[in-house]
Amino acid sequence: MGIGGGGVMGASNPYPDGSVGSTGAPWLDGNIPVDIDLDGLREYATRMASHQKEISSRAGYLTTLSQIPQRAFDGEVLGEADAVRAQLLANAGEMTIYLQKLAESVGNIANAARVVADSYGSSDAMAAASLNDVLFAFGDKSVPRPAGLPEGVGRTFQEQQAATGPVPPPASSPLWQPSSSTRISAYQTLETATGPNGERRDVLTFSPPGGPVTTTTTVYDSKGEKVSAVTGRATTRQVDDVEITVEDTFGADGRQTGTTETRTRFDENQRVEGRSTDVRDADGNTVHRTTEFTDANSAERITVTEERDEKGGIVETNRVNSGVATEGQDHVGPPIADPYRVRG
């Protein structure tokens, strides 16, 4: 486990025996000095932190792995199909957790490097950090605190969590488990979900006849303190064969924070031919775009993800090709043996 200005991430060491074998080498004895290039170490920490953000940002693409099984095996299905769905969802969950832990590990390395650099940033730049300082940077409380480490740096993730409590998952996270749904009035519905550490998410939906649908999502931590509140107002209109849904989001202060516009095209049988979703920031700039369509040659379902780059342009960042879609069966038909039964 590592610590830094932002604290350590991750749980207790799952491989204590392996760690002892790796770090219990004789060359660690004697407190041998290690020369450190502080500027290089800070740059290394910055790059590792950048890699952590990159890994975390890619985790969102894994939602497709959980969405496809749910769509493929929706409704009344055979027990075997339900078992396949459960296994695929479990695999997707494990992959998501793996990426989360990988991001935490990379972040721990960045934080540890930053702690060592900060320990000597206010003293002689040519000083040498001892291995004790490196051990402290990775959360070892049996070694002394480095003398040059600024105040406020050095609390572990567990210490910070004990003081502030766990951070609730994002409002759209699949970790929320629905607990209740209450109809408040003819046009208002309150849906409540519970987080993994006792957090609560309330989704209040107001659907007046002929007006926009307004949804307010409020997240509370395990102590009941409000963490975030976001309001979305959605309107839908039909233009020829395209359904256009625009959702404006607002922060707790009432200021608009962004807009999501979804365009869905239907064929003559009211089946979805394609869909595009643009996410814009408060200034109206597109920052994320998802396009779904069917390839005319291969009949494959293709989902393209685009994001805004550093220069302000929209570039493709991900592409998913799914197999040929089938119509499936939306109900349970009569048994195949019915015509051959002896009746009367």
Q: Say yes or no: 193 and 92 in one domain.
A: no
Check residue 6 and give its pLDDT. 41
Lowest mean pLDDT among 100-114, 251-265, 266-280: 100-114
Residues 119 and 38 in one domain: yes
Same domain, 121 and 254: no
Among the ranges given (25-29, 83-87, 194-198), the one the predictor scored with the smallest mean pLDDT? 25-29
CB 257 within 8 A of CB 249: yes
How far is Cα 57 from Cα 307, in angstroms, rounded to an integer? Answer: 11
Rounded average pLDDT over 104-130: 68
Q: Does residue 329 lie in a domain region? A: no
Same domain, residue pair 159 and 20: yes
Q: Are residues 147 and 185 in the same domain?
A: no
Q: Torsions phi, psi of 179, nearest 5?
A: -120, -30
Task: Tell the burial category of 24 from Cβ atoms under 10 Å away from its Cβ (0-12, 13-18, 19+).
Answer: exposed
Residues β-bridged to residue 181: 191
Q: Write out pLDDT tens, residues 74-90.
A: 777 787 888 888 888 88
Q: Which of 251, 233, 300, 243 is nearest to 277 (CA)?
A: 243
Same domain, 115 and 187: no
Structure tokens of 207?
């659907």
| One domain, residues 195 and 265 | yes
344 in helix, strand or coil?
coil
Cα–Cα distances (Å) from 173 to 44, 88, 154, 161, 193, in that order, read 31, 18, 30, 20, 11
Examine the pLDDT at 298 and tell me if it is beyond 70. Answer: yes
The answer on 260 and 138 residing in a single domain is: no
Domain end call among 139, 164, 189: 164
Ramachandran angles phi, psi of 339, nearest 5°: -65, -15
Taking the CB of residue 19, how many other CB atoms lie within 10 A of it? 11
**Residues 142 and 75 grouped into a single domain:** yes
Residues 143 and 197 grouped into a single domain: no
Q: Which range marks the domain in which residue 218 is found?
A: 177-324
pLDDT tens per residue, range 50-73: 888 888 777 777 777 777 887 777
The answer to whether position 8 is within a domain reads no
Does some domain include residue 23? yes
Q: For the chain, what is the domain count?
A: 2
Q: What is the DSSP letter of 196?
A: T
Sequence-ordered list of residues with C-beta below 8 angstroms from that of 146, at least 6 positions apart, any chain? 115, 116, 119, 120, 129, 132, 133, 136
- The answer to whether residues 182 and 152 belong to one domain is no
Whole-model pTM: value is: 0.48
DSSP-derived secondary structure letter, 146? P
Cα(35)–Cα(258) distance, integer angstroms: 49
Q: Is residue 101 domain-shared with residue 183, that is, in the same domain?
A: no
